[in-house]
Structure 1
Amino acid sequence: MKNFIPSRTIEYNDNRISKFIAQYGRCAISGVELGFNDWHCHHKIPYHLSRDDRYSNLIVLHETVHRIVHMKNKEKIKSLLCDLKLSKKQKDKINELRKGCKNEAI
């Protein structure tokens, strides 16, 4: 209840917690264990396009990974990627999410 987002639907709030639990509290890309305030729930197909809060359209990401998914500034992306030290497979997963958001691959 403390993590309830009042501006979002009940379906979204329920499914984001369920997704967090299903992912064992880890980022779907990096696998890092997430803390209380460092995770975001991302819509694979952006909400403004789909209006879809279903469980299958959500994925839990570390906040930095989520920023990379949406970011357009190549220099900032490069800097964040350098800090995260992701594998090619992890970068490919980010690119799949970026594609869903209509962003260029990194």
Structure 2
Amino acid sequence: MGTAILLNPNRTIEYNDNRISRFIAQYGRCAVSGIELGFSDWHCHHKNPYHLSKDDSYSNLIVLHEGVHRLVHLKDIDKIMSLLNALQLNNKQKEKLNELRKQCKNDTI
């Protein structure tokens, strides 16, 4: 992986360092689905929303598949259902997803 792929120039050094550390700690897998992640299909999510907490700490970050990350934040039921159908999450994975949704003040699905 090149440095350009790993670093986000619009974020803090702390965020960039911790997101790489979190990716490595999760063995390059989504924390919800367990899917092995590639170069461009992963997102780093703030468990406690950044706009409220301004917290880029390691403990506040989690690495997710792009589609799972979208499900954490989506509110449109049609888009939610479409992504759920595509990702085929099991009940345990949906529980993990809903915990993240609750932390973002979104309804469970």
- Normalising by structure 2, we get a TM-score of 0.95
- Residue type matched to 2:36 in 1? E
Q: Deviation per CA, 1:27-70: give whole Å up to 9, x if none.
A: 00110100000000000000001000000000000000000000
Q: 2:31 aligns with which of 20, 28, 33?
A: 28
- Residue type matched to 2:74 in 1? M
% same residue? 72
Q: 2:83 aligns with which of 80, 84, 87?
A: 80
CA distance in 2, matches of 1:85, 1:59: 20
Partner of 1:70: 73
Q: 2:9 aligns with which of 6, 16, 22?
A: 6
What displacement does 1:105 show?
0.4
Number of aligned residue pairs: 106
Partner of 1:44: 47
4+ runs deviating over 2 angstroms: none
What displacement does 1:7 show?
0.9
What displacement does 1:4 show?
1.1
CA distance in 2, matches of 1:90, 1:4: 28
- Normalising by structure 1, we get a TM-score of 0.98
- Residue type matched to 1:71 in 2? L
- Residue type matched to 1:79 in 2? S
Partner of 2:102: 99
Unaligned runs of 5+ in 1: none
- Residue type matched to 2:81 in 1? K
Partner of 1:18: 21
